[in-house]
Copies of this chain bind each other. A is one copy, B any other.
């Protein structure tokens, strides 16, 4: 309640809005109701937008093309994904990558410098998670370099309807082998939210996150000290989700358009 009271009065202006994609902007390859209006009104009011997704099997180019095919115009600079978070981290920390990621996104790392101390980058590599590749990564880790993860999901719903192993278990394997924890660069990692704002010149407290996943999107962002975390009742939202994790959402609203309204109203009060 204290949090809400705080925002009811004069507060920090929101300058950047972080938006999850699946379940917030679109669902099952269709834009959700009000998504285009919400995005338009946020832009008209001078807010920076950054679409943040944990996708680790598509390139940024493919994701942009997909958004375009749905009718959403989005600049490359407005889309932020874990592979980009990893590239930014590697550049800021003067490291070169040793990749154990899905072959589809290896090209995302082509511009990384190759002559620096090596960090192992693990993504959802699928069939590339074999003994030889994992052992190679383990041997690289013995130089003491960092272990980075694009995400640490346990499993995903596979094409056959059954659950299949995601990157998390293989990351746990390497963590156990080398005795060090990975730095997770996808949501809900605090590093992800910080890196997403890296090129905006906007502080964490000047950003708002809109998501349908109370843990990964909303609590993760608030934990990372993003100023506002708004949970929408679309996508994977289920009643009472807002009670499951701390920090609790700053607000719970019906959809992305209501979230945009909430932010504009907040900024009006904060003026």
List residues of chain A with CB under 8 Å of any chain B CB: 126-132, 134-135, 138-139, 142, 154-155, 162-165, 168-170, 172-177, 179
Q: How many Å lie between the Cα of A240 and that of B179 in the bound state? A: 24
A-B contact pairs, 15 of them (CB 8 A): A126-B131, A127-B130, A129-B130, A130-B130, A130-B131, A131-B165, A138-B164, A139-B164, A154-B179, A155-B177, A168-B176, A169-B174, A169-B177, A170-B173, A172-B175
Shortest Cβ distance from residue A23 to the other chain B in the assembled complex, whole angstroms: 24
Residues on B with beta carbons closer than 8 Å to the beta carbon of A163? 138-139, 142
Shortest Cβ distance from residue A56 to the other chain B in the assembled complex, whole angstroms: 15
Shortest Cβ distance from residue A102 to the other chain B in the assembled complex, whole angstroms: 12
Q: Which of B128, B168, B177 contacts A154 (CB 8 A)?
A: B177
Copies held by the complex: 2
- Return the chain B residue nearest A174 by Cβ: B169
- Return the chain B residue nearest A128 by Cβ: B131
- Return the chain B residue nearest A129 by Cβ: B131
- Return the chain B residue nearest A175 by Cβ: B172
Most buried by B among A127, A129, A176: A176
Q: How many Å lie between the Cα of A53 and that of B252 in the bound state? A: 59
Q: How many Å lie between the Cα of A139 and that of B156 in the bound state? A: 12
Residues on B with beta carbons closer than 8 Å to the beta carbon of A168? 176-177
Q: How many Å lie between the Cα of A198 and that of B164 in the bound state? A: 38
Q: How many Å lie between the Cα of A154 and that of B176 in the bound state? A: 7
Residues on B with beta carbons closer than 8 Å to the beta carbon of A162? 139
Shortest Cβ distance from residue A101 to the other chain B in the assembled complex, whole angstroms: 14
- Return the chain B residue nearest A172 by Cβ: B176
Residues on B with beta carbons closer than 8 Å to the beta carbon of A177? 154-155, 165, 168-169
Residues on B with beta carbons closer than 8 Å to the beta carbon of A130? 127, 129-131
Shortest 6 CB-CB distances between A and B: which pairs?
A172-B176, A169-B173, A173-B173, A169-B177, A130-B130, A129-B131
Q: How many Å lie between the Cα of A180 and that of B189 in the bound state? A: 24
